[in-house]
Copies of this chain bind each other. A is one copy, B any other.
Amino acid sequence: MSQVTIFEMGLRDGLQNESRSVRLEDRLSLAQNLLKSGIRELELGAFVREDKVPQMAGTSELFQKIGKPAKNTRFWALVPNLKGFERAVQSNVQSIAVFTAATESFAQRNIGMSIADSYAVFKEVIQEAKRRKITVRGYLSTAFGCPFEGPVSAKQALKGVDQLMKLGVFQVSIGDTIGMGTPKMVEQVVKPALKKYGAKKIALHFHDTRGMAAANALRSFDLGARVFDTSVGGLGGCPFAPGATGNLATEDLVFMLEGMGVKTGIDLDFLARSSLSFQRKINRGLTSRYLTAYASQQKTRIANDSH
C-alpha cells in the first residue's frame, strides 16, 4: 500500500498554465500513461469558460474518451461554479474540485468574486454534489503568499482551511500558488491543520517558483502530511512570474520519497519515460530536475550503445 498519495495535476494545473494548448489525443495518452505509472488520483481538466482558458477546452471529451476510472482510482475536474458543475455532471464526473483563495485580491482577480461570494457559490455546488454522491475537494490558493498582497499569515491560511472544511469538502489542498512559502511558514500552517483535521483531509500543493517545493514537501511529510499535489514533468508555470517554475514535479517528489523508503505506488522509470515522450509532443523542455537528469543519462546511454 502507498504511504503517500500523489495527486496528479499536470493535465489541469499544469496544462492551463502552458502558453500553447495541447491536442486532446496527447492529453489522453498522457493520462493513460499516468495511470499505468501508478497514479490513482488524476485531475483531468476543468469545466471553465473555453474562451478564457482554451487549454482546458475538450475536458468533457477527455472524460468521455478515458471512460470510467478503475477501482481505487478517481478522475477529477475543476469546477468554478454551478454552470461548470452541470457540465461536469453531464460528463458523468464523479469527483470535482472547487477553488478559492486565502487573500481577497487574488480571489477577485482569479475567480472574479470575493472570498465570501465564492463560499456562497460553492455551498450550492456542494449541496448539489452531495445529492448526487459526487466527491468534492477544495483548493485554497495563496495560502503562503499572494502576488498582490505579499506574505500571508498562518492565521489567515488556517481560516481559509476551516471555511472550506465547513462547506463539507472531503479534503482541502493548501496551495502555495506563487511559491513564496519556506519550511518554517509551512510548519506554521501544516502542523495545526493536521492536528485539527488529520492526514487524510489535508493535502499540500506546492509550487517551485523559488526552488522550495521539495523542501516544503519534506517538512510537511515530517509533520505527518501524506497527500501531495504534483504536476508531471513540472508541467505548467507561474502566471505571475512568466518563465518561472510551476508545480512541484511529480518525478522530483517521487524520487525524494522513494529514496527515503516511502512508498508512493509510482513506477518512476515508467513515469519518466512517459514524460519524455510527452515532452517531444509539446516541443518544450519540462522543468523537472529529475527528468532533465534522466533524459541526459538516456542520451549518454544511447550514445554509448551506438559505439
List residues of chain A with CB under 8 Å of any chain B CB.
179, 181-185, 208-212, 214-215, 217-219, 238, 241-245, 249, 252, 255-256, 259-261, 288-290, 292-293, 295-297, 299-300
**Most chain B beta-carbon contacts within 10 A, residue among A182, A210, A218:** A210
- Among B183, B244, B249, B256, the residue within 8 A (CB) of A292 is B244
The smallest C-beta distance from A224 to any residue of chain B, in angstroms, reads 16
Are A212 and B211 touching (Cβ within 8 A)?
no
| A-B pairs with beta carbons under 8 Å apart, 28 shown | A179-B289, A182-B259, A183-B218, A183-B256, A184-B260, A184-B261, A208-B289, A209-B289, A210-B255, A210-B289, A211-B252, A211-B288, A212-B255, A214-B214, A214-B215, A215-B218, A215-B256, A218-B218, A218-B219, A238-B293, A241-B292, A241-B293, A241-B296, A241-B297, A242-B299, A242-B300, A243-B296, A244-B292
Given the known inter-chain contacts A210-B252, A249-B211, please indicate yes or no for A260 contacting B183, CB distance below 8 A.
yes
CB-CB < 8 A to A243: which residues of B? 292, 295-296
CB-CB < 8 A to A244: which residues of B? 289, 292-293, 296
CB-CB < 8 A to A212: which residues of B? 214, 252, 255-256, 259
Are B210 and A290 touching (Cβ within 8 A)?
yes
Q: Top 5 nearest A-B pairs by Cβ distance?
A: A182-B259, A211-B289, A211-B252, A184-B260, A241-B296
CB-CB < 8 A to A249: which residues of B? 211
Q: In whole angstroms, what is the CA distance A241 to B297 when docked?
A: 6
The smallest C-beta distance from A236 to any residue of chain B, in angstroms, reads 14
A181-B259, A211-B214, A245-B292 known, 6 other contacts, Cβ within 8 Å: A210-B255, A211-B289, A218-B218, A243-B296, A244-B293, A245-B293
CB-CB < 8 A to A292: which residues of B? 241, 243-245
CB-CB < 8 A to A259: which residues of B? 181-185, 212
The smallest C-beta distance from A217 to any residue of chain B, in angstroms, reads 8
Are A210 and B245 touching (Cβ within 8 A)?
no
The smallest C-beta distance from A228 to any residue of chain B, in angstroms, reads 13
The smallest C-beta distance from A163 to any residue of chain B, in angstroms, reads 26
